Amino acid sequence: MAKPRSLRPVKLEPAAMIIATRLTEAIMDGTLTPGRQLGEAELAGQLGVSRGPLREALQRLVQQGIARSEPHRGVFVTTLDEDDVRDIYLARTAIESAACRLILQQSPQRSADRLATVHRSMATAAGRRDPAALSAADMALHQALVEESGSLRLKRMAETLFVETRMCLSALADKYPTPVDMADEHAAIIEALRAGDEKRLLVLMDEHMQDAVHRLTGGDGPRVSEPPEVAAG
């Protein structure tokens, strides 16, 4: 007689992962500011957790590069300088350009439809001049772009870069683009994707990243790259 099948137990997310996610969110929105010490006793008390999983969560942040560990001192939120900003956007350009190429080989119309849905949230936030909602929609759109590539490795590499991007934007909110400009830039990228125009799509993505670098660094230093010329129209 066949042995009756049993249900598999529900696997709960490890406590350290939940704590790491909570801390990451606090770093992204500026609650935990760059350079701040992540004291175990203070955080354990605030989060209502024991030090064991908290310590593991802090090590996860260190491994991701969004926190740093100093011997005999403790763990601190990473402070990003202008070289970091350039490096972050250089890496994002490579990853998101690769994602664009993969999307064009698969289902660009479907992906453009998904991005257009996210873009509507961005346009709404722009109309309300809501910087928090606009920033969230911005990151959601770029995350959706990478996800649409279907590459798990691109998605994994992009995750830390998106956290670091949010850290940059939280620290330098006064240099964020105007809502209308931001919405228009993303609309042009979606239009090029829908049209299957790889050359224009990659140039627009490159220029979008370069604009961010120049805005966040005050326009100093070398550009991320020199894109090829795009014919007008």
Q: How far is residue 173's CA from residue 127's CA, in Å, rounded to a whole number?
A: 18
- Of all residues in the chain, the percent with pLDDT exceeding 90 is 63
pLDDT by residue (tens digit) across 61-105?
A: 999 889 999 999 999 999 988 999 999 999 999 999 999 999 999
Beta-carbon contacts of residue 93 (< 8 Å; ≥ 6 apart): 205, 206, 209, 224, 225
pTM of the model: 0.79
pLDDT confidence tier of residue 47, bands split at 50, 70 and 90: very high
Q: List the structure tokens of 146.
A: 């990478």
pLDDT by residue (tens digit) across 150-164?
A: 999 999 999 989 999
Please provide the distance, in angstroms rounded to a whole number, between the alpha carbons at the two ends of the chain.
73
List phi, psi (to 5°) of 40: -60, -45
Q: List the structure tokens of 128.
A: 């309300």
pLDDT by residue (tens digit) across 16-31?
A: 999 999 999 999 888 9
Q: List the structure tokens of 11.
A: 């696997």
